[in-house]
Amino acid sequence: MIAMGIESTAHTFGVGIADERGRILANEMSSYSSEKGGMRPFDVAEHHAKRAAETIKRALNKASISMKDLDIIGFSQGPGIWQALSVGASIARALSKLLEIPLIGVNHPIAHVEIGRLLTRARDPVVVYISGGNTQILTHASDRYVVMGETLDIGFGNAQEKLGRIVGLGFPAGPEMDRIIGNWVDLPYTVKGMDLAFSGILTEAERLIKSGLRKEDVIWSFVEVCTSMIAEVAERALAHTGKNELLLVGGVAASPRLQEKMRIMCEERNAVLKVPPAEFSRDNGAMIAWTAILSFKYGGALSIEESSIKPYWRIDDVQWPLMDLPDS
């Protein structure tokens, strides 16, 4: 079975191709960027629509297959920016109808987890899912992924982007922030049980910058505080579940400082940190293709009437068994 996956939840339009043995045959993408920072939803949707055909063609060429070799079409059904989601969903519906093959709607957070499990061979980990709009600590229990803790306001990635716009960094700002070194300044540390909040830290960081403090010092301290908060709740999740694997997924999983703190914490708890390659940590089509295969085997295909996008679709809304990994 060969699946094409279409990712279009936010700034990346991705097309991936995978087979049921877990082989990634292609993972092509085109990402919207803005020198002014941030994303205007309609601009993102326009970018995706313009780049879709060439990205699909590159993926097919990379996989050395043609459209007729595809068995199923998967797409990001949610959560995400509805204008961007609509582009990917429309293309997937059209291809499904044209090729007369099953259409699969994929929950975007589950896809991050499942591509992470596939590539790192994580069996039943505590999952730290960190992206632009999401900051969640997950574990699998019974028939779904359970949210043990999450942000109470905005995701860590979005907080970085907001601070990046304040200080004039381009989009995405996160990688630039990771390269900044500064001196410590005090910022709020907001952990509430297993949950976190970033908006208050962001507000104080903005105030300090406007008061004249060096922006490098504020940015470095902001990253230090936020990554320490995430490491704290992740450690608490490991302690509560007794698991010995920690899987770090999502676009912000590529942050060197976040990885370093998680690695130190895991070593102290005799746990193993597992992080997929950066290409597969960020939003990508391969994760949609692979998860579409799993979803098709578990629940079958969607009708066109069932394929409407779900901009607020939570991971814990989805019944999803802990599936076996394919033989390596």
Give the integer Cα–Cα distance in Å for 140 and 322. Answer: 7
Give the integer Cα–Cα distance in Å for 286 and 64. Answer: 15
Same fold: 2-112+280-317 with 122-278: yes
Contact 290/5 with Cβ under 8 angstroms?
yes
Mean of all residue pLDDT scores within the chain: 95
Residue type at 29?
M
Going by C-alpha positions, the residue among 273, 263, 271, 262 that lies closest to residue 240 is 271
Region 7-31 average pLDDT: 96
Assigned architecture for domain 2-112+280-317:
2-Layer Sandwich (3.30)
Give the integer Cα–Cα distance in Å for 128 and 87. Answer: 28
242 is in an annotated binding site: no
Region 277-283 average pLDDT: 94
112 is in an annotated binding site: yes
**The tokens of 325 are what?**
């990994």
For the chain, state the CA radius of gyration.
Answer: 20
Question: What pLDDT, on a 0 to 100 scale, did the predictor assign at position 141?
Answer: 94
Going by C-alpha positions, the residue among 253, 144, 148 that lies closest to residue 194 is 148
Report domain extents, the chain.
2-112+280-317, 122-278
Tell me the pLDDT tens digit for each residue of 65-119: 999 999 999 999 999 999 999 999 999 999 999 999 999 999 999 999 999 999 9
State the distance between the two ends of the chain, measured CA to CA, in whole angstroms.
Answer: 17
Reduced to 3 states (helix: H, G, I; strand: E, B; else coil), residue 4 is strand
124 is in an annotated binding site: no
| Interacting residues of 17 by C-beta distance below 8 A, sequence separation 6+ | 2, 3, 4, 5, 24, 25, 26, 27, 59, 60, 62, 63, 65, 70, 285, 286, 289
Region 301-306 average pLDDT: 94
Question: What pLDDT, on a 0 to 100 scale, did the predictor assign at position 38?
Answer: 64
Give the integer Cα–Cα distance in Å for 280 and 259. Answer: 15
pLDDT at position 302 over 90: yes
130 is in an annotated binding site: yes
What is the reported pTM?
A: 0.95
State the fold for domain 122-278.
Answer: Nucleotidyltransferase; domain 5 (3.30.420)
CA dist list (Å): 314 to 110, 134, 212, 287, 309: 9, 10, 40, 17, 13
Tell me the pLDDT tens digit for each residue of 116-171: 999 999 999 999 999 988 999 999 998 999 999 999 999 999 999 999 999 988 77
129 is in an annotated binding site: yes
Give the integer Cα–Cα distance in Å for 192 and 270. Answer: 25
132 is in an annotated binding site: yes
178 is in an annotated binding site: yes
Question: What pLDDT, on a 0 to 100 scale, did the predictor assign at position 167?
Answer: 92
pLDDT at position 35 over 80: no
Contact 203/86 with Cβ under 8 angstroms?
no
| Interacting residues of 195 by C-beta distance below 8 A, sequence separation 6+ | 149, 150, 151, 152, 233
